Amino acid sequence: MTAIPPIAEALTASYLLGSFPTAYLLVKWLKRIDVRTIGSGNMGATNVTRVAGLWAGVVVFLIDISKGLLATRLIASWLLSQPSPALRLACGVLAVLGHNFPLFLGFRGGKGVATTIGALLGAAPLIAGIYLATWGIVFWSCRYVSVSSLAAALAIPIAQYATHRRGLELILGSVLGALIILRHRANIIRLLQGREHRSGPGRY
């Protein structure tokens, strides 16, 4: 019987970890409803906050970050011998894919913003800082969560290139950014139509 390569084990474990349906389970427990059938239908912290309150949203946000962080730090270190930043980031990408397309919920998941934070924190802390700073600055300026997330997604490969990341790292960072953008297709349409909702002061 052929042994499974460690990298395949690490990527599979990262995907399965990312597939843990945090938002679905928490809202089901608190409200006895399927979070995918209410609000925006998204399995992320923003929708959970609307449906189940601030503290539920914070819990989901922190656990979703942990999925990316554990994939890049724990799983990569456990299954791979001296993993490079690129291999750690690969595990992070699979955790985000698991979050976005979870095996346990018919491949219908979240948008990957929080899990991407964890993946970057574990594999590229400087890029994570730029990602978070971009999100915060844009949100402070416009109060659109979706615009902030899209700007942060674009910042990933730009920050990598500016800090001389090349090769597989840059490719994987571009994949992370592209996944966020693709999962925000509906938000982009609403923005173009002027129907996207703001958050915080000045929202409508």
Residue 134 lies in a domain: yes
13-39: b or e for each residue (b if 16 or more CB lie within 10 Å)?
A: bbbbbbbbbbbbebbeebeeeebbeee
3-state helix, strand, coil in the chain (%, to 5): 75, 0, 25
Instruction: Tell me if 188 is assigned to some domain.
Output: yes
- DSSP 8-state class, residue 143: -
| pLDDT band, very low/low/confident/very high, at 157 (cuts 50, 70, 90) | very high
Residue 137 lies in a domain: yes
Under a CB-based contact definition with an 8 Å cutoff, are residues 176 and 119 in contact?
yes
- pTM for the model: 0.92
- Other CB atoms within a 10 A radius of the CB of residue 204 amount to 6
**Separation between Cα atoms, residue 179 and residue 166, nearest integer Å:** 19
Mean pLDDT of the chain: 92
Q: What is the number of domains present in the chain?
A: 1
Share of the chain above pLDDT 70, in %: 96
Per the structure, the complete domain to which residue 40 belongs is given by 6-193
Residue 49 tokens read as: 């906050």
**DSSP H/E element including 173:** helix 168-183
- 200 in a domain, yes or no? no
CA distances from 185 to 21, 99, 104, 160, 192 (A): 22, 17, 23, 24, 11
Q: Residue 12 pLDDT more than 60? A: yes
CA 17 – CA 33 distance, rounded (Å): 23
Q: Is residue 70 part of a domain?
A: yes
* 202 falls within a domain: no
pLDDT band at residue 1 under the 50/70/90 scheme: low
Q: Tell which wins on pLDDT, 181 or 203.
A: 181
pLDDT tier, 102 (very low <50, low <70, confident <90, very high otherwise): very high
- 198 assigned to some structural domain: no
Asked whether residue 95 carries a pLDDT value surpassing 80, the answer given is yes
Q: Give tens-digit pLDDT for 46-90.
A: 889 988 999 999 999 999 999 999 999 999 999 888 899 999 999
Q: Is residue 177 part of a domain?
A: yes
**DSSP code for 197:** P
Answer whether residue 138 shows pLDDT above 50. Answer: yes
- Rounded Cα distance between 26 and 121, Å, is 24
Task: Give me the count of residues in the chain.
Answer: 204
Mean predicted confidence (pLDDT) in 105-117: 93
Rounded average pLDDT over 2-22? 91
